[in-house]
Amino acid sequence: MTESETERTSSVLRNRHFLLLWLAQAISQTTQNAIFFALMVFIEEKTGSTAHMSALILSTIAPSVLLGVAAGVIVDRMRKKYVLVATNVLRAIAVFGYVLLGDSFAAIYAVNLVFSMIAQFFGPAEAASIPLLVKRKQLVAANGLFNLTFTFSQLAGFVIIAPPVIKLFGVQALMVGSAGAYLLAALLVTLLPRGEQVLKPLLGLSRAELLGSLGEELRDGWHLLTRDTSIKLAMMNLTVTATLMLVVAELAPGFVSRVLGIRADDTVYVLAPAGAGVLLGTLTISRFVDRFGKAGVINFGLFVLAISLAVLALVRNAGNWLYSTMWTYPSTAADVTDLPLVLGTVMVAGMVAGLMFTFVNIPSQTILQERAPLNMRGKVFAVQLMFGNVAAVLPLVFIGALADLVGIVQVFVLVALVIFGVGIFSLACTKHLTDAPMEEQSSSA
């Protein structure tokens, strides 16, 4: 980071209102990730079924498919401060549904659906609040801090907070603490300034105008998609990595319990190194992009990501082979994981997978930001998020059932092969493309 970038980051952190929003983001996103980890552990321990894990993940992403674009339109017509306060308070209330209805899986999925629906309004309101609180020249530093916090919140929620709290106090205690965390986040955002003047308030918008806005956003985003190959490739890669994150989250508890032979709440052996890899990639990606270009980094990331997933899938079989050829074959699955080489390989492969995720994801997001016209960036990202989640639904449904039918290892290998195929396709398409910003795009759109 250059000296000027450091100064801008320090300056934006001295902005009291931005600091309040940033802290609220860190608390709410860390809490959301901790809750999701707790639900994964609970479902795996109670059912041992990847199909049930699919139902959990589908109840998490379905609201973004159904409400993603609509939530953005609605948030644009409300004061962002009020949306931030309301969504944090409502999530604090919804968390108690997990505690009170925890005996029924159907009820858990229903509560999770409501919880995720509320979250659809928080994200757009949070992103739209940043330009209201900082100067234009500080936007890059502010967004950089938010992206870094998004990554760290995954590491904190999945690794630092949820596993020890669950081991010491149980899932219900984590849920009660999460409700308190959301109320703290709500308190922080109540201290923000009142905000912007809303040009077309929601109360004054007819149903026809609301539906027309939704249709316009979808048409504009689709038109840009069809005429720019670089944007199409970037969206494809973002969709692949987003789906991959959900698939790995779905398979991880079953992988550690049914393949490695350790407890489901020890999923930390996979997720902690992956989180560390994501953090490392976030901090170092710019130097690789400067040297090799965004397309080069993306293609490299896809191929190495496929290899790291294949290593994860085959590490148990490799451990068994090593024992059978060099030592006495172990009597239980847990004995295999006692070999430091096996667990060490799992952790290294997880870290590489997390690192390569950033190599694909961050440059792809940058291509979208650079090539999409300034007045269409929100629409493009809304459409990308919706399309990405729609594309993720079918793989999640079938992978859960397939893992129960043929095994988690075989599904991991299949996912690795798909990622490798996407890498070949991306490499072929980018040979004659440039990922530079479109000339005069923001002014001509």
| Segment 226-278, tens digit of pLDDT | 777 788 888 888 888 777 776 776 777 777 777 777 665 666 667 778 878 87
Residue that terminates a domain, selected from 159, 192, 225: 192
State percent of the chain over pLDDT 90.
Answer: 16
Strand, coil or helix: 134: coil
Q: Are residues 173 and 280 in the same domain?
A: no
Confidence check: pLDDT of 180 > 90: yes
Strands (E), 288-423: none
**Residue 369 within a domain:** yes
User: What is the tally of structural domains in the chain?
Assistant: 2
Q: Are residues 113 and 237 in the same domain?
A: no
**Residue 142 within a domain:** yes
> What does the block give as tokens for 88?
């944090």
Residue 167: pLDDT band by 50, 70, 90 thresholds? confident
**Residue 49 within a domain:** yes
Q: Are residues 188 and 219 in the same domain?
A: no
Cα diameter, the chain = 75
Residue that terminates a domain, selected from 136, 164, 192: 192
Q: What is the pLDDT of residue 240?
A: 80
Residue that terminates a domain, selected from 166, 192, 218: 192
pLDDT in tens, 264-305: 566 666 777 887 887 788 778 778 887 888 889 999 999 999
Domain span including residue 68: 1-192
Count how many residues are written for the chain.
445
CATH code assigned at 93: 1.20.1250.20
**Residue 376 within a domain:** yes
Q: What is the value of pTM for the model shown? A: 0.63
Q: Are residues 130 and 65 in the same domain?
A: yes
Confidence check: pLDDT of 13 > 90: no
Q: Are residues 367 and 302 in the same domain?
A: yes
The mean predicted confidence, pLDDT, of the chain is 76
Q: Are residues 339 and 257 in the same domain?
A: yes
Q: Where are the alpha helices (DSSP H) in 228-262?
A: 229-254
C-alpha to C-alpha distance for 53 and 274, rounded to whole angstroms: 20
Residue 440: pLDDT band by 50, 70, 90 thresholds? very low
**Residue 441 within a domain:** no
Confidence check: pLDDT of 202 > 90: no
pLDDT in tens, 345-402: 888 888 898 889 888 887 887 787 667 664 555 556 666 666 666 776 667 667 767 7
Among 28-42, 202-216, 266-280, the minimum mean pLDDT is found in 202-216
CA 297 to each of CA 7, 172, 305, 426: distance values in angstroms, whole numbers, following the listed order: 28, 42, 12, 11
**Residue 198 within a domain:** no
pLDDT in tens, 310-356: 888 787 666 555 555 554 444 444 444 445 667 778 888 888 988 89
Q: Are residues 15 and 50 in the same domain?
A: yes
**Residue 203 within a domain:** no
